[in-house]
Every structure is written in structure tokens, then in C-alpha cells.
Amino acid sequence: MKPIAITMGDGNGVGPEIVLRSYAQGELPPASIVIGDAAVLRLCAEIVKAEVPIRSVADPRDAASGALNVVDLGLMTAGDVRIGQVDRLAGEAALRYVERATKLALAGDVSAVVTLPINKEATGLSAPGFSGHTEYVAALCGTEVYTMMLASERLIATHVSTHVSLREAIERVRRDRVLDIIRLTDAALRRLRPTRRIAVAGLNPHAGESGAFGDEEIREIAPAVELARAEGLDVQGPIAGDTIFMQVLKGRFDAVVCMYHDQGHIPMKLLDFEGGVNVTLGLPIVRTSVDHGTAFDIAYQGKAFTGSLAAACEMAARLAPSAEDQVRDPE
């Protein structure tokens, strides 16, 4: 299997520490390579006392066993690190790590991309309008129909919209968009679950209660569900948001299509904050991510949990095309 590319994240946050400690604890896949700055990783290793051999390489094909291999972009030095601070250089560098990893995946040089957290404020200092990894990677891939999926053993949630205002999120609840997300969810479940039973959440309280509290369910969501059923998909809805996740936990459904960011993120982070994985569906590459932020308040202190990175790498390996898949479908 080709290596999995792990981006280092914001150099002032917990990303460097997490990747170092994950390597030291044997939690990274044998075929993995970090995209970042070796100087930052060496400084972090010294501060958190992580005895990790770091090897700088120019290309993933130069990676070898016995060390943490880093495609060293040389964007930050140890002197550039501002631990726990919002910084333009660190934010810009973090975006460049993602760009390089995505291009390596598009070229077929790595099997998947796993991203550590970026600070949106820091990155926005050099890239105004930046809204998040999901949208940025999709743009690099030239993909217009995509979605964010949060996944753990307890819950899978996909989203009609993510990093937009609640007012805009409501406007984005449209039949065709909901149908696209149902289809993407079904395709992901083929690789993740033995069954593909999808629940679609309502937008309004009590799923609108027959139009008493809003009519988006009648005009947009229910028609999307009917079209998906006509395609043979196992989908039900719209179901009230205050009961839908309970039904998933009771085993009635395998995934929930959520109408906006917090509708899916709040239950996921409540149920499995450390084990949840962020996946971008609809891309021509596999991209997963930890489901937490840069945690500037505990950066370089040896406190950050590493379980989410391990889960993100495991998910990437599950979703990446196998050698058998590539032989069967060379495209």
C-alpha cells in the first residue's frame, strides 16, 4: 500500500505533538509520512521529551523504516514557532501542508490524506475567506458535490451544510442537495457498514410538524427522500432532530443525514469526542481528519490525546482503494 500522508497542522498547536507521540506509541500505520516542517517537529520533540528519530525526505518514495519520515517543506524554523498563538506564518504554512498532501494524493503518490488541525483565524490572515479543510481540499480537487462525514463506531453523520451561518444553512436545504448527500452517505456506508439504513433529519422542531413550524420538510427534504427511495436506497425521513440520534443508537439506522453543522457535530462530540473522525465524501481522493481543533491552550505540554489521529488513520486505510480495487478499476 502506498503511504498515508499526514499533514502536521498548525505548528503552534497540538498537531506536532500528536504526530510525534502517536509515532512513539506505535499508533501510526507503518506506511505513513508527515507533510510539514522537520524543524518544528524536532523542537516539539525536545520540549515534550519524545524520543522520535525524524528523517527529512523530498518525496514519499524516499521514505524508509526506522524513523518518522517527513516531507520537509522548510516553511517554518524552530525560531518561527509561537506556541499557543495565532500567527500568520504558521497559518499559511499549515495550508501549504494540506496543498502538498492533496496534490500528492491526486498524483497517486500517497493512498490517502489525514489532516491535523488548522486554526481558521491564523490561516485566514494569509487566505481571507478560508472556511475550513473540507472546502479547501474540495476546491483543490475541483469537486463541487461533496460533504463532511463524522464517523465513529457509535455514530455516522453527514451534513447538507457545514461552515456557513445558520441563516445560510437554512437556505441551503434544497431537494437536490439533500439527495446528493443521501447518495454520498449510501456510497460511504458500502465500505463501512454491513447495512446501509439512512435516516434524514428534519430542519425545524418536530420536523416541521406538518408545516406548523416551517415547510422545508414538505418542500425540500421529503421529496429528496422519495427520490432516493425510487433509486432503491434504504432511507427514511424527515425525522425530528431531537429523536433521530436515539434511534441510531438503538440500532434502527446506520447513518444520519443532518441539515447543518451543529445538528451533527454536537451528538458526535458528546458520544465519541476522542474517537470521532472527519471524512470528506465525494472527492477523487481519500481525506480524513481528526475531529478536534488546534487546542492552543495545551500545545507542547504533552497533554493532547492521540486517539483521534489513530482513528483517522484507520479510517483512511479502510476507505483507500485496495490493490484489488485498482486492478479491477484502473480509472
Which of 258, 280, 302 is at the close of a domain?
280
Q: All 3 cell numbers of residue 56?
A: 527529512
126 with 3, same domain?
yes
3-state helix, strand, coil in the chain (%, to 5): 45, 15, 40
Which of 243, 261, 280 is the endpoint of a domain?
Answer: 280
> 60 and 129 share a domain?
yes
pLDDT at 322: 56
Q: Tally the domains of the chain.
A: 2
* Residue 15 shares a structural domain with residue 138: yes
The CB density around residue 210, as the number of other CB atoms within 10 Å, is: 10
Q: What's the CATH code of the domain at 139?
A: 3.40.718.10
pLDDT at 208 over 90: no
List the beta strands (DSSP E) in 18-95.
32-36, 54-57, 68-72
| pTM attached to this predicted model | 0.89
Where on the phi/psi map is residue 155: left (φ > 0), alpha (ψ -120 to 50), or beta? Answer: beta
Please give the mean pLDDT across all residues of the chain.
93
Residue 265 has pLDDT above 70, yes or no: yes
**Distance between CA atoms of 305 and 285, rounded to whole angstroms?**
27
Question: For the segment 11-61, what is each residue's pLDDT rounded down to a tens digit?
Answer: 999 999 999 999 999 999 888 999 999 999 999 999 999 999 999 998 888
Residue 157 sits in the same domain as residue 64: no
Of 239, 257, 280, the position where a domain reaches its end is 280
Average pLDDT over residues 133-139: 91
Cell, residue 208:
416541521
109 and 189 assigned to the same domain? no
Whether residues 236 and 271 fall in one domain = yes
**141 in Cβ contact with 284 (< 8 Å):** yes
pLDDT tens profile 105-134: 999 999 999 999 999 999 999 999 888 888
Domain that residue 128 falls in: 1-143+283-331
Percent of the residues in the chain that have a pLDDT greater than 90, as a whole number: 82
Report the pLDDT averaged over residues 247-268.
Answer: 96
Indicate the SS3 state at residue 12.
coil
